[in-house]
A = this chain, B = another copy of it.
Amino acid sequence: AGDVAAGQAKAAVCAACHGADGIAVIPGYPNLKGQNEQYIVSSINAYKNKERTGGLAAVMQAQASMLSDADVANLAAYYASLK
């Protein structure tokens, strides 16, 4: 499982759209607060692998391409930990 504190540090960029507390600032974007850790990992990897396309997926493809596997695990642990 990922490291919550490392994930929180890495989440500064994510917060621009997904909110400082994991509640999205724009209705078209998903809330991540309390989302399932395993699902967050698989969805970030789906963007990274370009298995999610269309609409705003290009934004997340670009962001995900800059994340290591450890970053993904840490971000997932962080957002899953928010209550």
List A residues at the B interface (Cβ < 8 Å). 24, 27-31, 34-39, 42-43, 46, 49, 51-57
Contacts and interface: CB of A to CB of B under 8 A. Distances in A.
A41 to B, nearest CB: 9
Contact of A51 (B30, B31, B37, B57): B57
| 7 closest residue pairs by CB, A with B | A51-B54, A27-B38, A30-B39, A51-B53, A27-B36, A28-B38, A52-B52
Q: Is the interface of A mostly helix, strand, loop or mixed?
A: loop
Contact of A35 (B31, B37, B51): B31
12 contacts: A27-B39, A30-B35, A30-B36, A31-B34, A31-B36, A31-B39, A46-B52, A46-B55, A46-B57, A49-B54, A51-B53, A51-B55
Contacts of A42: 28, 55-56
